[in-house]
Each structure stands twice: as C-alpha cells, then as structure tokens.
Amino acid sequence: MKKWMMATSTVALIAALAGCNSGSNDDDDDGVAVPPPVTDPVTTPESIALSFQGRYSSNEFGVSAAEIPVYDPENQQIFVVNALNGSVDVLDARDLANPARTGSLTVEDIAAGAVVNSIAYHNGFLAIAIEAASKTDPGFAAIYDATTLQLIDSTQVGALPDMLTFTPGGEYLLVANEGEPSDDYSVDPEGSVSIIALDGGTMGDVRTADFTAYNTQADALRDAGVRIYGPGASVAQDMEPEYITVATDSSTAWVALQENNALAKINIADAQVTDILPLGFKDYGVAGNGIDASDEDSVLNISTWPGVVGIYHPDAIASYNLDGSTYIVTANEGDARAWGEDNDLYWAGDASQGFVEEFRVKHLVHANGFDRRAGDDLPPQLRELGAGALLNPDVFGYCGASAGEPGDCREDDALGRLNITWVDGYRKNSDGSPVMFDTTGTENPTGDRLMYDKLYSYGARSFAIWDENGALVWDSGDQFEQYLASADCFAGSNRDIPCVDYFNTGHDEGDAFDSRSDAKGPEPEGIALGQLGDKTFAFIGLERMGGIMVYDITDPQAPAFEDYFSTREDFELDPETNLAAVGDLGPEGLYFVPAADSPSGEALLVVGNEVSGTTVIYQIDQL
C-alpha cells in the first residue's frame, strides 16, 4: 500500500450506525435476530427491521427471471416480471411462507415478439410496459384485469417503454419511453414520456411529453451539467427516461434521465416537460464521500480521492410529501453507455459500429498513449480526440502525478483500476474541442495529449434526497460501503455471515472479495418508500453486494440508518451451479405492502432478484 493513501476513518460513522442499528435489531450474541412481537400496524414504530417470510424461485440463474414485482391486495397475489420468458409470473401470496406460481401472463396478443419490461398496479388493474421485437420501434402499454388476467385495452407508445406508473388518483398512466439506440447508433429514437388518460381500465387520449423543445438548448444544458453526448444525437434523442415518480396530487411527475444524470420535471395536465434538472456530481475528495476504488489491492481501502467525482445516474426513484413539499429519493446506481461492445469491428477502429464510454484510469493515462490498447478495449472515438491523456498534476499530485507522468495514480492500489468515462473531464476550448498538450505536459496546439482535470466515475454508491427543483437535500455519502466494511454488518437470513469478509462481492459469482470496487461498489439500484404511522422509510436494494438498506427518511435533511438485511446465504459457492443454496442475488425491484393490505396484517416488502430468479417476501418488523 502506498504511504500516501488517505484511508478514511470509519470509527465515527460505524459508531453512529451501530447506535442506530442497536434500536432496530434485537440480535443475540450470535447475531441471530429475535422475532419481534406482532404490533399494531397504525402505531408509529421507534425503529424497524426486516425478517424473512418466504420465497418463490424460478430456478433460473442469471437470466432475469424475476425483476419487477407488484402486489394485488384484492386477490393477495404478486405479479413479477419474468424477463427470461418476456412475461409476467403470477404468484399466490396468501401463504407468505410459501408463495406459489399459479400462472403466467404473456403479451403475444399485443404484438409478435413483444416482451414485458415493467408492470404497475392500481385498484384492480395491472398495467404492463411492452417492448417491441425491435427495441428501437415504438412499444406498447396495456392494461389487464388483475383478477381475470384478461386484456382490457392497449395502445402504442414510444420506443423501449422501460417503466410505467399510475398517478395516485388513477387518472393517468405514465410511461417512460427510454428510446435506447441500436448497438451501432444508426438508429436512435427520441426519449419521451407517454401520458395516457384513463377511465377505469380503458385508455383515452395518449399524449407525449417529449424533449424536442430543448434541441436548441444543448450547449446550455451541457454547461449546466446535463450529460448530452451520444454520437450525432439531438437532445431529444439523447434523453433516456428511466423511471417516474408522481406528486401526491397527480399534478407533477419527475423522471430519472439516468444516462443524462438529470431529472425531467413534467406538468401532467399539459403533457409538457417544464424543466431538465441536472443533478451535479459527487465529490469523492470530501471526507465522508470516500470510495474503495480498486478490485485488485486485496484490502479494504475506503479513501477520499481529490479530483474524482461520481455521476449520480439514478435508476429507481420515488417521492413523498412533507408539509406540502415533494422530496425525490434516488438510488444512485450509475450507468455507462456501451453500445457495440461485442462488435469486433468497433474495437478494430470503426467508430460507426458503436459507442463505448467506459475506460480504466490506468489505460487512459499511460505514458505510452492509447495505441497500446488498440484492438482490445480502445474506443475509436477516444482515439480520434488524441493519442493519449495526462492527469493535471495540480489536482492529482497527491498520488504522484507530475507534468507528463501519471506517477502512482495509475497503479492498481490507487486509481488505476477505477472505471471512468473518457467523455467528461478533459480540458476543452470554448467550442468544445480539446485543449491539446504534448507529452511533457505543456499546452501545445500541435500536441496529441488530452489533459484530464477531473475523473468521472459511475454512480454515487449511495441514495440521495432532492427537492422538487432538483437541489440536493441529503446524500448518504459513503455510509453503504462503510457499513458493509464494519464489524456490525452481517448477511444471511440468520444474520451470521460477516459482510466484511465479502465486501463489494459481485452478485453473479462466488467468493470474490472487493470485485466490484473498481466499478460501482455495492450498486444501489431499486428503491421503495413505505409509510408506517407518522414515519416514512426508504428501502434500497444493493444490486451487487445484495441485500436491502433501510433508512428512516421522515426528516429529509437527517435520515437515520435502521437496518441492513441480506438473504444471500452463502458467498463461497458458485451460484450458477449451486443456485438453491446461495439465496437471493441481485435485488432489482422493490415493492412496499402496507399492513392493511397484507395477508398477515403486518407491513411487507416484496423484492424481485434478477440474478437468482427469486421473489422474496420480507416482513417489516416494528420495534
């Protein structure tokens, strides 16, 4: 380990988390949770914890056989997206310990080759987002009777409908049309949000909130921090709506534009995008925002890294109302554009065959330049900018960078392994072209080196709370990684597996300590909010490490850690060959069930795990 490494102290944070956790986990000395008593569901709990109730397994590994769940209280059944089959599995949830599959809902009657991407439930109706056989073609939204599973109505929407939701009052169905490009970027549909008027389960007018009005504002949006960078894309083409949350009065929607690192604000009645709100970047040089940046140093090293920032890139978002104000809660997953990455022609230098923005720091700033990676992982668009890149020694001098040399910054136990985007961070002229330097680090118009003043990594390894205009209210900082690295964290349904032994392990592999530290760490992806009495709680799924983080967010400026619960039961086994024994891997979608709707009378959390293909029911124990 280099003597200049600035390891962030974990003592104060872990003590604080342990203090929070001591009230939410009545564990015995062996770390085994003591079952709590049944509580009045309308009572405001002092704290909460999760306990395992039951599991349905598709017995399919790594093929997204369980993604997005919703719960139907009228029939006490769970609907879950099975992307493997392009359909919806129907589970009987009356016996929480033994949810059983009773059928499947397919969408072949909508369009040939169409598949299910997402689902939503409201008052006896199930809405389904349906991707066309070619993802760049317009997709569909459909509504089914949740009891009979009969199709009621359907309509065409934009390309790649990725998520949909009812407004709280059921007046509208909103569909996020992501509009991803084809792998070679030859076709790039516009992103949009379809707003469908409803009369019960019947669809009325379909209007589109699009981004075409912003096509003339590309430079201003980029200057504000909105990431618009797809090759040849207009603003409308570059926007990729991922997830929607709606105000309690059904007047306003906020849409996660994940790849663009922004939120869109929509007036629902007018079907207009009224604002694009850049989320900014998370400074990993600030105490409390540290990350473990390497997967090959074989140690825990949650450190601060000046000059390195995280792109929030939220996936799932949710919202809640407090004293008349809406707060948006985001799971800051991170997401790189990687199109054509399986095309040999692209890596051979044909930029028309794709676009990959991800690159390791050690390959970006090697003194010998980019061509050493040609034919391997060198994006041709990066090579068109220059023959190599340098680190600004005024920023990165702390890890040894000097004029023309990266020093120890590119070593594996420093920043070398970290995946970053080459698109952002290099010094630019006023027209957007790169400022060129020579190999000595001297600015020189005839030089062939880029100069990186910042390094932009994917995601923020956190969840965050924003106000309705996109201003950051609170971020969990490095609490996720610090807790997973602490002696207080235990995984497994019996809470007996030390998390620290499997820190930042991947969800699709056996024992792989630290394997995700170079990427997005524990990778928070899914989120659900739940109201218990007078308190609001956030449940955040960690896609890679697995498990659910629980926070009391009643005060949006001072959320409190409540619990971490993982039902990954064995980290040593290869999950592909030991699926039944390893437990639950890759939480994707989370759904809160209020106590009043639950078969047991206790509030529940339903989680779809895409890697293990399992749908899990947790009880929310009020302590």
Among all chains, which residue has been given the structure tokens 């059921």? Answer: 170
- Tell me if 359 sits within 8 A of 337, measured CB to CB: no
Residue type, 352: S
Beta bridge partners of 275: 265
The residue out of 457, 472, 492 marking a domain boundary is 457
- Give the separation between CA 320 and CA 305, rounded to whole angstroms: 33
Do 419 and 536 lie in one domain? The reply is: no
Q: Do residues 551 and 497 share a domain? A: yes
Q: Would you say residue 285 lies in a domain?
A: no
Claim to verify: residue 327 and residue 379 sit in the same structural domain: no
Euclidean distance between CA atoms 228 and 130, whole angstroms: 26
Number of domains in the chain: 2
Which of 457, 480, 503 is the C-terminal boundary of a domain?
457
> With 90 as the cut, is the pLDDT of residue 510 above it?
no
Q: Which residues constitute the domain of residue 241?
A: 11-279+314-335+459-622
Q: Quick one: CA dihedral 494, 495, 496, 501, positive or negative?
A: positive
What are the pLDDT digits (tens) for 171-187? 999 999 999 999 999 99
CA distance 601 to 622: 12
SS3 95: coil
Percent of the chain exceeding pLDDT 70 equals 93
Residues 288-316: what's their mean pLDDT?
A: 97
Residue 427 and residue 319 share a domain:
no
Last residue of a domain, which of 434, 457, 480? 457
pTM of this structure: 0.93
Q: Write out pLDDT tens, residues 527-574.
A: 999 999 999 999 999 999 999 999 999 999 999 999 999 999 999 999
595 φ, ψ (degrees, to nearest 5) = -55, -35
Note whether 536 and 439 are same-domain residues. no
- The DSSP element (H or E) to which 53 belongs, if any, is strand 48-57
- Both tokens of residue 56? 């349905």
Q: Calculate the alpha carbon distances from 606 to 51, 493, 587, 597 in Å.
A: 12, 15, 10, 13
Asked whether residue 449 falls in the same domain as residue 476, the answer is no
* pLDDT tens for each residue of 73-129: 999 999 999 999 999 999 999 999 999 999 999 998 999 999 999 999 999 999 999
Note whether residue 309 is domain-resident.
no
Nearest to 583 by CA among 462, 487, 488, 495: 495
Whose CA is closest to 86, among 128, 136, 122? 128
517 in the same domain as 398 = no
Judged by average pLDDT, the poorest of 15-24, 276-285, 478-487, 509-518 is: 15-24
Question: What's the pLDDT tens digit per position in 392-436?
Answer: 999 999 999 999 999 999 999 999 999 999 999 999 999 999 999
Asked if residue 201 and residue 116 are part of one domain, the reply reads yes
In a domain, residue 3? The reply is no
What CATH number has the domain bearing residue 326? 2.130.10.10
Residue type at 24 in one-letter notation? S
Q: Is 295 part of a structural domain of the chain?
A: no
- Are 125 and 64 contained in the same domain? yes
Report the distance separating Cα 593 and Cα 313, nearest Å.
27
